[in-house]
A and B are shown apart, each in its own frame.
Chain A
Amino acid sequence: MHQQGVGDFQYYVGISSLSQIATAQDKVCVLNILGGESSEVTPVGHAWSGGNVVFGTSPGRRGQTLDTPCGPIPVFNSVREGLEAGHRFNCGVVYLPPTAARDGVAELIRVNPELKKIFIITEKIAVHDAREIRAMGQQAGIDIFGANCLGVADAWNQVRIGGALGGDSPGDTLKRGSIAILSNSGGFTTTIAQYLRMAGWGTTTLVSSGKDIYIHYAAPEFAFALANDARSKAAVLYCEPGGYYERDADFTKPVVACVVGRWKAKLTRAVGHAGAMAGGHDDALSKERWFMEKFDVDALYTPENPVFSAKGAVVTNIAHIPAALTAVMRANATLPDFAPEGTMELKPWFGANQGIKLPTALDLPVVEAVAPHNLHIAELARSVGTVFARQNMKDASGASQMDPRTQLSSLHGVSMLDAAQKPLEANLALALLHEAGGPNDHALINLSVMALTGLHGTAMLAAAQAAREAGNAPNSVLAAAVSIVGPRTAEPAQRAAALLIDLFSTAGLEDACDQDADCSGITLTPAARTLLFATEPDPLAGAMIDAAHTRGIRSVPLTWLIAQAGHPSADAVLAALTTTLGWGPLRRKRVSRLSVEALPWWMRLVGTQLGASVDATQHTADSFCGIAHAELLGARSITDVAALALTGRQLGSKDLFAFQTLTGLLLTNGPGAISAQGAKGAVSADGPETPSRVQLNKAVVGFLTHTGFAHGGNGFEGVAFLLERFAGQDLTDPGNPDHGLDLPAMINTFINDYAAERSAGKETGAGSRNLPCINHPVFKGKPVNVDPREKFVRELFAARGEYNIFHDYYRQLVQALFDRGVTRNVFCVNVDALIATLLLKMMWQPLQAGRLSTAQMETAAFTAFLYGRMIGCAGEIDDHLNRGRNMDTRTPQSQVRFVA
């Protein structure tokens, strides 16, 4: 049952000429216009076609619009609503999912009596639905294109309907000419047009037919419309096995047919295009034969054996289409539409041998890409750094992870055990630049942070002091200071860093430490100068430059900055230092530009936290904790200043090593740790998809507020326990193995007390206290249990010949608890014990001397945790900034619960 259309077909065909397929008069309604594919493709086609889409549908989204370069397209719930709003259209485009496509076709046909054409882009439509679609179109007298196609385009009318022929820039491919294209492959429709253009042939109408079993607009009706299209002098057909469509086409104009897919005769099921599979007499060889008979040729056209007639040629490689077409058209006394635009020979745009000697034939030199891509590649050469894929980063991290089996955390692939052997500045580099760096990098970090640690006279110091005096824990004290280090404080240095990255990447700087690098080509605009130079000499800048010299820092940006006429600002010097620091990882695509631009802010945040962690009295106009600023900038490391801030005294090398081990072990515990969650939540809430809006200082506050007496302060429980045990003992040097104390006796005494307490607890039902720092939920159940982190540190210090009586006490305690039958097996000494024992050993002497109160000791234990985690969370924040999505840490409603 079909309506009577044009021509002598046994089915309905409404289009008599190719010029009618996509016209300037066509008005289009797109079903599922806001779907993923349509929302990308429709705006391009709409704009290129001068605005041919009148409205789209998307149930439940009435009132929304799809923005396009030539204005928004209104969206309605249904076709009926769009018509009721006064819109009229004759073309429907179906972008619905496969199970809904048939119903969409029905809607278009039944609701709009003016409908003439439907273009179905949807792929994987069931054959069941396809035959019903066909029947509906035939009954109603509608031309249907597709399905599983990329629509149609007309280079003369400059109209594209449905799909994406010509890609995101149709004008680049679709140049007005004399050749029509019908292709089973949507991708090849554009590719063939591109190939033709290179050989001097333009196009008229391009039809992507799709390659489902039902091809609704196929070769016979295309041949008919080709004959009636005065613009088209010839056609190119791209065909694959399956279906008898081409056999029944009657061509009256020259045609080059490309038949590909002989190999599919071997298949036992369809691959790729649905209709193309084995069986029947419609395989590739059959199709080649049909066309050869139509064209009166006895062989395929190949460059070596160019067989063709005035009627056409058959090729099996799309690369041969242009030459075959030119030959066929020459036989018709017709020249190409315009001068050829290029050749199709091998032209690599990118290449590298990686030091391997390739044979000459393979060792193709990289050539300049065709416009506009040559400009893109040039632009790319100027861009530096990597870009990370954005994704939901809730409970996920690209920076840290914890191995649930070993409980060992790592940061950017470096295990905490290795990090524990590195100074804080190396771990800060690891966190922010994914590499621990070398001595020059550490000098850069140390100088940058030290320059910003002195807080004398700043609001940060005042806020921290006020918070401290109000009785806050150290995390709240630091948070008060950090809150003030807002975006505006970091902006000048960040802008300077961005400028320096631009300048030196344009100059092609490879190694930012190579003092011989040629920077002579770098010029500054007046506007750029204002980002780097102050009108008056900046004392801090001068101090930093002096300190850089003292430290022997190698920095191309800094050297260049100093060499310019004018007074570099302190922000510019800071930016020069951080840009030098980030340059290697940036060039190696280890980090993003975003991360390197953020470095000045990070230096300020770390400096502020260090500075704010000591009492305000420790800050003077020219010193910090009694160290003159010049020395601070020129010689001190983050590690020793942090140790000084924590303990109030200069530590010896052994204690310093213990301190860095302590902070290294505390860097991270994976993205599930509460502190990391706080940091990530703060980033997520600001919306990392617009990174410039993320307040890094607020993210640090997020980390700080997500630490506390339970999370961060628990090392102190171990300290308190040890203090009780060692109270009244004559211990002067906890590092001396000949301490003279009878540890077994002390332990015995404790166990007696503890056993008595336990049995009393059982009697009264009050239970007994848990012993801090022993046992672990993972490392348990064996006859002798060991926390591998504790074992690592124990062995590390043993190898260094360093002794810790408190550690020794714990080791003996767990054995004695078992020997005395208090525990069922030998409990492990856990990682918390490391914190307690290392800290107590460091603090023992000031404690004994009364220079440190127990409360201060607790603060110190907490602060040590904060120092370590400050670095780890900086890595976490930077990671979330680079990879996260807006509000991605939110818990779905389905996973939260109400508790009555």
Chain B
Amino acid sequence: MQITGMLHGSKLLEFVGFPSAEVLGPDASEEAIKAMIERHGSVFVKPVFKGGVGKKGKAGLLGRAKDLKTALAEKERLYFVEHHHGNQSAKANGVTFEGAVPAEHEIYFSLSVSTEFRAPTLTITHCGGVDIEELDPTLIARVPFDALTGMKAFVVANALADIGAPSEIISPLVQQLPKLWELYHNFGMTVLELNPIRMRPDRRGRLTPVACDFKCGFDRDDSRWHRLNLPPHLFAADYSDFEQEINQLRTHQGQSDVYVINDKGTILAPTFGGGANSLVTEMLGDDAIISSDFGGNPPYEKMKSVASICFRHWLAQSNVLFIIGGKSNNTDIFETFRAMADALREHISEHGPTPLFVVIGRGGPNLVRGMAAFRDTCEALGLPYRFFGYDTAMSEVVDYAREVNEWMKAGGRQEIAAKLGVGTQSEAA
């Protein structure tokens, strides 16, 4: 849920009247690019990535051109460029041309949540345009402020004074930066970072801050960003088809968080509770297909829909259906297990039997009834199973599931398939 770059960033900044560098999109005509170079002396050519991708400058993904020929050459180089940063990799689809803003001062500005202060926090330095981690901490102001009053002019003024910012930049920043709080606060952002903001002088030498790069993150649980009418494809890269299907069921009634860990994995583990999700995903490693949290007492229908989607996407390749959670507090085990068992039964009715071993570890209200419902389904479908109560350590159950998976890979899957009279999918095992 992130937006980076000026192509969309400049439009967001327009909402609150914050000046930004002139920007042209991938479909800009040669005449327009040429005119931009003439106006600004030079242009920056930047690849367009969906979502958040960091450290583009360092990776050589920033082109600068003072003539049309160079600009077009940089466009060709960067249009489909691939970028790897940490575990993330992304492929560009398009470039932007951004008018250079000559300036003496470059400002780093961000608004974010600080868990140290437990308050919204302004981070600012007049030595921006570089990685903020590389700066001397005394040059950076990190100032928490009251959420109810917001980031007012005095917050900015005090912050700049604290770090000894040059006096000529203080007044324009104090005038302009509070607008960004409106953007941040009213449109559901969790982070907003402008780096750099260049201080462009006018004819009389008065400085105006101009945003030259943009990054923001939105809060998935905050509907305020819907007001921006952003095109949905901006966030599409964040989610697989499976995740999007599950997300459509996302309501405040029960969790439904999923993340595809390994689309070649062989353990399908619907997990209940954030803690269990954390523990189980860690222990399963690459055997896990998905990481999930379906806790929060989902009602029958929702649980059944979620399970159906999981089965449709992943059951064919799964060796182990591993339903795991701690001793639930209020999640009704009977309702959730019955829903999953019914979904399993329906899936197999529709798609035919699949070799599968069912392992369950769970505790909570109506536990035995829930397990009995699942047992009946496994019996009806001829699937081998072991169910553990909360008097077995969850990690022991995870290890058991992993051992079952290894056995399935080493021939167990074929054995069950033969018993069920079906073939095995080649992608599993």
Contacts and interface: CB of A to CB of B under 8 A. Distances in A.
B252 A122 contact: yes
B390 interface: yes
Given A195-B393, A346-B388, A362-B404, A369 B326 contact: no
Contacts of A187: 272-276, 295, 325-329
Nearest to A128: B222
A264 B285 CA distance: 11
Interface stretch (A267-275, A630-638, A685-693, A771-779): A267-275
Given A128-B224, A164-B330, A135 B147 contact: yes
B98 interface: no
Interface in B373-391: 375-376, 378-380, 382-391
Contacts of B380: 588-589
B396 A346 contact: yes
A198 B391 CA distance: 8
B385 A351 contact: yes
Contacts of B363: 167, 191, 194
Contact of B327 (A167, A261, A317): A167
A348 interface: yes
B400 A362 contact: yes
B185 interface: yes
A84 to B, nearest CB: 28
Contact of A260 (B117, B275, B293): B275
Contacts of B52: 268
B386 A348 contact: yes
Interface in B329-374: 329-330, 332, 338-339, 342, 363-365, 367-369, 371-372
Contacts of A278: 86
Contacts of A245: 115
Given A348-B388, A377-B368, A126 B342 contact: no
B220 to A, nearest CB: 8
A272 B277 contact: yes
A62 interface: no
A240 B275 contact: yes
B131 interface: no
B353 to A, nearest CB: 12
Nearest to A187: B273
Among B118, B380, B388, B396, the most chain A Cβ lie within 10 Å of the Cβ of B118
A347 interface: yes
A15 to B, nearest CB: 16
Contacts, number: 292
Contacts of B116: 244, 248
Chain B binding surface, main DSSP class: mixed
A272 B372 contact: no
A351 B148 contact: no
A135 B391 CA distance: 42
Interface in A598-625: none
A272 B278 contact: yes
A185 B274 CA distance: 6
Contacts of B285: 263
Given A194-B327, A369-B368, A272 B293 contact: yes
A837 interface: no
B279 interface: yes
Given A195-B393, A271-B257, A354 B329 contact: no
B275 A238 contact: yes
Interface string A335-361: 000000010111111111111111101
A355 B258 CA distance: 34
B115 A317 contact: no
Interface of A: 1, 10-11, 36-37, 40-41, 97-99, 122-129, 131-132, 134-136, 139, 150, 163-168, 173, 183-191, 194-195, 198, 211, 213-216, 218, 238, 240, 242-245, 248, 260-264, 266-276, 278, 282, 316-319, 342, 344-359, 361-362, 364, 369-370, 373, 376-377, 380, 386, 389, 391, 588-589
21 contacts: A123-B255, A126-B224, A127-B222, A131-B113, A132-B148, A135-B119, A187-B329, A189-B329, A194-B327, A260-B275, A263-B281, A271-B277, A317-B283, A352-B384, A353-B384, A356-B412, A369-B391, A389-B342, A391-B301, A589-B379, A589-B380
Q: 10 tightest CB-CB pairs across the interface, nearest first?
A: A185-B275, A187-B273, A191-B326, A126-B222, A188-B275, A164-B329, A319-B393, A344-B393, A376-B368, A243-B115
